[in-house]
Amino acid sequence: MSRQPPLTRPRHRSPGGPAVRSRRRREHQRVALLFLAPTVLIVGALVAYPILHTIWMSLHSADGSRFVGLANYVEMFTSPNTRRAITNNAIWVIVAPTVVTAFGLMFAVLTERVRLVNAFRLTLFMPMAISFLAAGVTFRLVYDEDPDRGLLNAALVAVHDSFAPSSPYPGATVRAESGLRSTDDGAVLTSTPVAAGEVVYLPLVGLPADQLPPHAAPAAEPPAGPGLSGVVWRDFIRGGGGTPGAVDAEEYGLPGVTVEVLRAGEVVATTTTDAQGWFTFPELTGGGYTVRLPADNFAEPFRGLTWLGPGLVTPAIIGSYIWVWAGFAMVVISAGLSSIPREAVEAARMDGATDWQILRLITIPLIRPVLTVVVVTLVINVLKIFDLVMVLAPESVQPEASVIGLEMYHASFTQLNTGLGSALAVLLFALVLPGMAWRARVLKRQEARRGELL
Amino acid sequence: MVRSVSRLVALLVTMTLVVGCAGRPSRPADGPLAGQAVEVAAIWTGAEQAAFLAVLEAFEARTGATVRYTSGGDDLPTLLNSRLAGGSPPDVALIGQPGVVTQLARRGVLAPLTGEAEVAVRSHYSPEWVELGTIDGTLYGVYYKVANKSVIWYRPDAFDEAGVRPPRTWEELHQVTRTLADAGVGTMAVPGADGWVLTDWFENIYLRVAGAERYDQLARHEIPWTHPTVVESLTLLQDYWSADRAIQDDPLQLKFVQAVADVFGPRPKSSMLFEGDFVAAEIIRLGMVAVGDGAAFFDWPSIHGSPPAVVTAGDQAVAFTNRPVTMALIAFLASPEAAEIAARRGGFLSANQGLDPAAYPDPVTRELATSLRNADVLRFDLSDLTPQSFGGGTNAEMWRLLQGFLADGGDPQQVAEQLEAAAQRAFRSPA
């Protein structure tokens, strides 16, 4: 490709015979070696030796004393923990670079049209200035399950509660000794049929005293008949005491509880309790009724999602990774965008192409090399992901969230199994190699092209 | 291993690979060991480090030696291993895992305690504690700081509200929990996100169900984890954990430090928390209630009429060199004087028999120390005695299995079999 004359061919014949020349060449070689020596030494000691030593250790037992052949590699691919780590790494490699690049492209294209481009880009790029450790700690607070602590769940709860109001008595259940039954979803029912003229007692417990509404009045025996009547009350006196299932002094009625009367599975009447917890259905006659307090009286308030639970932990951590790296992708892609010939875009616009068509048919094909560089850089980066997972995943779900890097750390430093740890390191090394080789080739090609331009 | 220090701090320490060295200006001092330098490593940071430094200063003042303290954070064993590999271990280290100490002793890198150090240990500690520091008949360590891990902390105001008194038996604990649930004041917080808390739950039940002898046998894996006593303990554990409303929701997402806040913080969700004496330090750090007033504790209830028993843990001072100054420092750490200096600063329990209980700064600490001293049965934290991959660290199999048991329940017999399989792997491998 290069049109420069090869450097090895001398332009002028040097004076002297072949013997002189070969001596000179030897001298040249000696000098070259002398200059190369420090680099060779440093690279050897800091790169080559550790790699070879890791491979050597990966073929030895946990404490490095016995040669075990490929046993560590067999364990690596058969033990469920490491296999899950490898699967998770695969998910990471497929999802994270793609999404980060997509976001980067989106930001790059959109910010081109914003007025304060640089301020905008700077803001998006800012997370890159934060270490993964700090980002992990921050996102720990974002993802915390408790809406009082976790930002994301606080937002979810706020949105949810503005559409669905919370129940009046969350968590309240029926007193165990009362002879009532409760369904799995929390509804309370009488277990034997009741008839008009009877009084139904519905004692509830599990309610903090401070959760009673201010207008709640002390509960009292409700008058019997006409029709069906009853009382719903908090069957607990401060400091204990009283008879379970009976309306005692100092016990409070629960106002605002929805009460349903069922007959043969059909709701025949509905009402709500008053300040003393009383309810009446004067119009009902006969018997065979069931009284039910529907579950939405007692539904636990919406508490958001368990972001860092076994199911969502990997997507959640990938989310924080995207937050950190999207800015990087945007900056690199923006640089690529600015080198696109304006004529191509303008010509397409003249031809009546829409923005979407321009992006899809002109922009993306033209910056494809840049996109590939971004993706490959991210793939290499994602393969060795460690710190975010270590910091973000709670200990109880670390097995579910584990990646090769984390497994390598735990094998080497918590279980002190350097053999398995080294085997994992070798695997990681082998996985990173193709990407590295590709990047090196691209760089070389770019340099060659630059040389051509000069 | 139990740390009251936030895991976060440990992570920061690990990941930035910073080993905090707390050097202090050395003062010229006279004494028998003037001019000698000695290095000591431990896991302590913050207030605990300050208390330890005060003890070291007293040693310096007395002997004229210079002491350098190195804090290794939670990953002290890793630090020690790399220092040993490099050929320059500290002179003294305080290690929380007896399993690690045993490994180091068998590798021959520890110096047996001799001379004044041995005399000090044998004269100030009860035979049980001396025995805990002895490996294969040789004395290697002395328990400088110990923990009482058989107490359950509670909020007296919640107990008043529900009209219950601290339970003394397992059945009473169930009943109290039910009443607390009925009163709506919250029940037990189980921070299952930290596996070590769950191992402590199991150990307290097991020590009471199976007795001290079987406990020792299980710790050495001389009886299998499928033993009926293990299955019975797991069944009791499950009875409690899965009882209606007995524990706070979603325990696997709850970390220890958060659990303390959920019980003793501004908006309590629960009214009880089981963990060792070090909970007090976290309560003080939160600053919402005063220990002894808004926070109290009761001893772990007796099961089937078991005698008072305490699961303990502690940091053992061991020597890597046998220089006179090393032995002098160990002898000093084993002395009542050193225990008194640390005890006065709070957050410290000692097993030293020569220590006057009046040195403890508050009645709660004194009570904790008394309950530790009065226990008929005293046993070391079982998970810390087992190999690290089984009982002693993130991802340890016992931690994981108990976390799964807490979250999903399951058949105790089956969990026992899984524990046994994991124990067989761990006890077989030399690591």
First-last CA distance in chain A = 13
Q: Cβ A239–B161 below 8 Å, yes or no?
A: yes
Burial profile A257-283: b = 16 or more Cβ within 10 angstroms, e = fewer: bbbbbbeeeeeebeeebbbbbbbbbee
Indicate the domain borders of chain B: 7-148+312-380, 151-310+383-428
B12 — pLDDT class (breaks 50, 70, 90):
very low
- Give residue A303's identity as a one-letter amino acid code: R
Find residue B38's DSSP bridge partners: B67
pLDDT digits (tens, 9 = 90+) for B232-270: 999 999 999 998 889 998 898 888 988 999 999 988 999
Q: Which CATH class is domain B7-148+312-380?
A: alpha beta
Between B17 and A226, the more confident residue is A226
Q: What is the C-alpha to C-alpha distance for residues B98 and A138, in angstroms, rounded to an integer?
A: 35
Q: In terms of Cα–Cα distance, which of B328, B320, B352, B341 is closest to B67?
A: B328
ipTM: 0.71
Whole-angstrom distance, CA of residue A164 vs CA of residue A154: 15
Quick check: B76 and B47 in contact, CB under 8 A?
Answer: no
Characterize the bridge pairing of strands B37-42 and B92-95: parallel
> Would the CATH topology of B7-148+312-380 be identical to that of B151-310+383-428?
yes
pLDDT for the residue B174: 95
> Which chain B residues are closer than 8 Å to A387 by Cβ?
15
The model carries a pTM of 0.78
Mean of pLDDT over chain B: 87
For residue A303, give the H/E element and its range: none
| Of residues B185, B194, B400, nearest to A399 (C-beta) | B400
CA distance B127 to chain A (A): 32
Given an 8 Å threshold on Cβ–Cβ distance, is B181 in contact with A61? no
Residues of A in contact with B193 (CB under 8 A): 394-396
**Which pLDDT score is estimated for B120?**
94
Residues A293 and A312 in one domain: no
> Min CA distance, B228 vs chain A (Å)?
27
Q: Which residues contact A406 (CB under 8 A, 6 or more apart)?
A: A85, A386, A389, A390, A398
pLDDT in tens, B366-403: 989 888 877 888 899 998 888 877 887 666 889 989 99
Q: Position of tokens 């403890």?
A: B360
pLDDT band at B18 (very low <50, low <70, confident <90, very high): very low
Stated as kind and residue range, the H or E segment containing B202 is: helix B195-219
Is the Cβ of A387 closer than 8 Å to some Cβ of chain B? yes
Cis peptide, bond prior to residue A214, ω within 30 of zero: no
- Determine, for residues B7 and A241 on separate chains, whether the beta-carbon distance falls below 8 Å: no
For residue A67, give every residue at least 6 positions away whose Cβ sits within 8 Å of its Cβ, in sequence order, or none.
A59, A60, A61
- What is the CATH classification number for the domain harbouring A404? 1.10.3720.10
B393 touches chain A (CB under 8 A): yes
CA nearest to A173 within chain B: B182
User: Could you say which of 3.30.1370.10, 3.40.50.10540, 3.30.300.210, 3.40.190.10 is the CATH number of the domain covering B151-310+383-428?
Assistant: 3.40.190.10
Chain B residues 176-235 with a CB less than 8 Å from chain A: 178-179, 181-185, 192-195
Q: Would the pLDDT of B286 be above 90?
A: no
The residues, any chain, with a CB within 8 Å of residue B359's CB and separated by 6 or more, are B339, B340, B343, B344
Which positions in chain B touch A306 (Cβ < 8 Å)? 250, 253
CA distance B117 to B38: 15
Whether A141 has its CB under 8 Å from any CB of chain B: the answer is no
pLDDT in tens, chain A (454 residues): 444 554 455 455 555 566 777 888 888 889 999 999 999 999 999 999 999 999 999 999 887 788 999 999 999 999 888 899 999 999 999 999 999 999 999 999 888 877 888 888 888 889 988 888 999 999 999 998 888 888 999 999 989 888 877 788 888 888 877 778 888 888 888 888 888 888 888 999 888 888 888 888 888 888 876 888 899 999 888 877 778 888 888 888 999 899 999 988 889 899 999 988 899 988 888 888 899 999 888 888 888 888 988 889 999 999 999 999 999 999 999 999 988 888 888 898 899 888 889 888 888 999 998 999 899 999 999 998 999 999 998 878 888 899 999 999 888 877 778 899 999 999 999 999 988 888 888 888 877 776 665 4
- A398 CB neighbours in chain B (<8 A) are 394-395
Nearest by Cα to B390 from B380, B399, B377: B399
Question: Which of A289-303, A372-386, B151-165, B302-316 is predicted with the least confidence, judged by mean pLDDT?
Answer: A289-303
Q: Is a pLDDT exceeding 90 seen at residue B339? A: yes
Higher pLDDT, A115 or B320: B320
Q: Which 3 state secondary structure label does DSSP give A403?
A: coil
Domain that holds residue A117: 71-152+307-429
| Interface contact A395-B195, CB threshold 8 A | yes
Is A203 in the same domain as A113? Answer: no
B116, B113, B68, B60: which is closest to B90 by C-alpha?
Answer: B68
Share of chain B above pLDDT 70, in %: 91
Strand locations in B194-281, DSSP E? Answer: 272-274
A266 in helix, strand or coil?
Answer: strand
Residue that has been written with the tokens 């904790």 in this structure: B368
Q: Is residue A162 assigned to a domain?
A: no
Residue A135: its H or E element: helix A132-143
pLDDT of B118 strictly over 70: yes
CB contact under 8 A, B394 and A410: yes
Which residues 46-105 on chain A approach chain B with CB closer than 8 angstroms?
Answer: 61-63, 65, 81
d(CA A418, CA A56): 11
Total domains, chain A: 2
Most confident of B32-36, B276-280, B370-374: B276-280
Q: Tokens 């139990």 sit at which residue?
A: B2
pLDDT of residue B179: 92
- Which residues of chain A from 186 to 215 reach within 8 Å of chain B, CB to CB? 205-209, 211
In angstroms, how far is CA A318 from the centroid of its own chain? 5
pLDDT of residue A219: 87
**B331: which residues sit within 8 A by CB, 6+ positions away?**
B115, B116, B117, B119, B120
Cβ atoms within 10 A of the Cβ of B149, count? 25
